[in-house]
Structure 1
Amino acid sequence: MNKHPITLLTAAGLALTAVLPTADAAISLDRTRAVYVSDAKSISLNIVNENKELPFLAQSWLENEQHQKITSPLVVLPPLQRVEPSERSVVRITKTPEADRLPQDRESVFYFNLREIPPKSTKTNVMQLALQTQIKLFYRPKAIVAPKGQVWQEKLVFRKSGGAVTVDNPTPFYITLTGMTRQTQKQGGGAIGGFQPLMLKPKSSESLKLHDTGMNSFVITYINDYGGHPELRFACNGNVCTAVPEKK
């Protein structure tokens, strides 16, 4: 989940927008990612106004993979609402008929945006802070929904060739990798230099620029549907590295 602080500085009618390193959101979201299974009429996201004194407006919209605002094949309702102090509310995402034109053999990714709009200050020379939150929204066709408990990240394959490493994602799902270490975190971790977090598209391959490609085993950290960060061990047989599923 990305949070973008926005500063509104008002003085003698002058408005300035800037980005600050940190800020606390008044309007918060109940998750860091969302999954819309295609046979659902809609999905609901819960929001809350953490401010105990002031009402805030909550503005919501969707963007496509190119970060362009859209109103189909998915739409947000309501796009703008007032949330009273310490109160909760709901944002619903529903599909339009155009959703039937989305690929049915793989996921599609969108971005849900939530921007808080503070009440107008009655004072001059006042700096107002606001946050814009963005999370990934995955549209998942019913035909590819995996059985409950299945870890499709285990199907990833890493291939070493000439000092380079390529990761293959044969699945119909987006897979986000956030870490690559020599051991699990409980065993001490040990980050592999050069690794950068990435999101693998369905049925795609990506090259990793690692400083060390001689490892015989390693551990990846990925993000699951619930925003958790499980670890998954891989073992190499020659130049091909595959997952070692945990015993259940």
Structure 2
Amino acid sequence: MRFIRTIGLAAVSLPLIFSGANAGVIIGGTRIIFDGAKKEASIGVTNPDSTPYLIQSWIDLKDGHSGKTPFIITPPLYRLDGGQQNVERIVMTGTLPQDKETLFWLNIKAIPAASSQANSLQIAVKTRIKLIYRPEDLRASTPEEQATKLTWQRTGNELQVTNPTRYVINFNEVSVGGQNIDDVTYVLPGESARFPLPAGARGNSLIFKIINDYGSPGKPHQASL
């Protein structure tokens, strides 16, 4: 299992305590694929430090906005003492389309206990990872296996990718004419996404990598514009 650690100020969301440059909780994964054949999924949260943390968790819609989702997360708020681990359960309470994947965001905020040291800086750190609901009928394949079905084209100074598949496809990297494109993200099922092309990105040769279900980049794929 791959782990992601919230460290330092990189993911600061609120000015509240951090003691030590390496302080933080460890989230047991970089994404959650919710199996539509099951009623729940889970993820571990570990506190390797001596400082207790208050952990708050919630789920946002695909656009990052809060709103009603067909999930509850339990426990949504709890204390995590130093050296302890807890498992958060995500339970499905509603219905979702069964002909395609649906994207949500899981937010986990770690708020450290108040420090007894004078003039200490308190900082809460929020980690956000993808929560992807995969219907039972889609378990026979993966986004990696569907990657060759993507179509690409130039649109002005942007690169447009169209996803005819039923899977949320997350990109690790995309390059055109040997130049990497910054800030590539994902493309939703049946939709298109656009990414700004860097200056001097010429030619019709394109190489891209997909992030797999375990959060690792897959093999390079080639395409033409």
TM-score of the two chains, using structure 1 as the length reference: 0.74
Q: CA deviation at 1:159?
A: 3.4
Aligned to 2:214: 226
- Confirm or deny that 1:201 pairs with 2:201: no
- Confirm or deny that 1:176 pairs with 2:165: no
The aligned length equals: 213
CA distance in 2, matches of 1:37, 1:146: 12
Retained in 2: the 8 A contact 1:30–1:45? Answer: yes
Deviations 1:184-230 (A, max 9, x none): xxxxxx434x5541211111123444343423x33212211110012
- Confirm or deny that 1:68 pairs with 2:56: no
CA distance in 2, matches of 1:199, 1:132: 21
State the identity %: 30
Q: Which runs of 5+ in 1 are unaligned?
A: 10-19, 184-189, 240-248
Out of 96, 109, 123, the residue aligned to residue 129 of structure 1 is 123
Q: Which runs of 5+ in 2 are unaligned?
A: none
Q: CA RMSD in A?
A: 2.8
CA distance in 2, matches of 1:177, 1:129: 31
- Confirm or deny that 1:8 pairs with 2:6: no
- Confirm or deny that 1:54 pairs with 2:51: yes
CA distance in 2, matches of 1:162, 1:58: 45
Q: Which SS does the other structure have where 2:106 is aligned?
A: strand
Aligned to 1:187: none
Q: After the TM superposition, which of the residue ranges 71-80 and 86-95 deviates more from structure 2? A: 71-80
Deviations 1:109-136 (A, max 9, x none): 1111111121123344321233111101
Out of 101, 106, 110, the residue aligned to residue 112 of structure 1 is 106
Retained in 2: the 8 A contact 1:159–1:167? Answer: yes
Aligned to 1:43: 41
- Confirm or deny that 1:214 pairs with 2:214: no
Amino acid at match of 2:160: T
Q: Which SS does the other structure have where 2:179 is aligned?
A: coil
Retained in 2: the 8 A contact 1:115–1:132? Answer: yes
Q: Which SS does the other structure have where 2:83 is aligned?
A: coil
Retained in 1: the 8 A contact 2:16–2:111? Answer: no
CA distance in 2, matches of 1:123, 1:195: 41
- Confirm or deny that 1:140 pairs with 2:129: no
* CA pair 39-126 structure 1, distance change in 2 beyond 3 A: same
Retained in 2: the 8 A contact 1:39–1:142? Answer: yes
Amino acid at match of 2:186: M
Q: CA deviation at 1:235?
A: 4.1
Aligned to 2:91: 94
Retained in 2: the 8 A contact 1:165–1:207? Answer: yes
CA distance in 1, matches of 2:119, 2:43: 35
CA distance in 2, matches of 1:175, 1:222: 7
CA distance in 1, matches of 2:87, 2:191: 35
* CA pair 180-104 structure 1, distance change in 2 beyond 3 A: same
CA distance in 2, matches of 1:150, 1:173: 9
* CA pair 71-206 structure 1, distance change in 2 beyond 3 A: closer
Amino acid at match of 2:91: T
Amino acid at match of 2:192: S
The structure with the largest alpha-carbon Rg is 1
CA distance in 1, matches of 2:221, 2:103: 27
Q: Which SS does the other structure have where 2:147 is aligned?
A: helix
Q: CA deviation at 1:68?
A: 3.0
CA distance in 2, matches of 1:113, 1:104: 24
TM-score of the two chains, using structure 2 as the length reference: 0.81
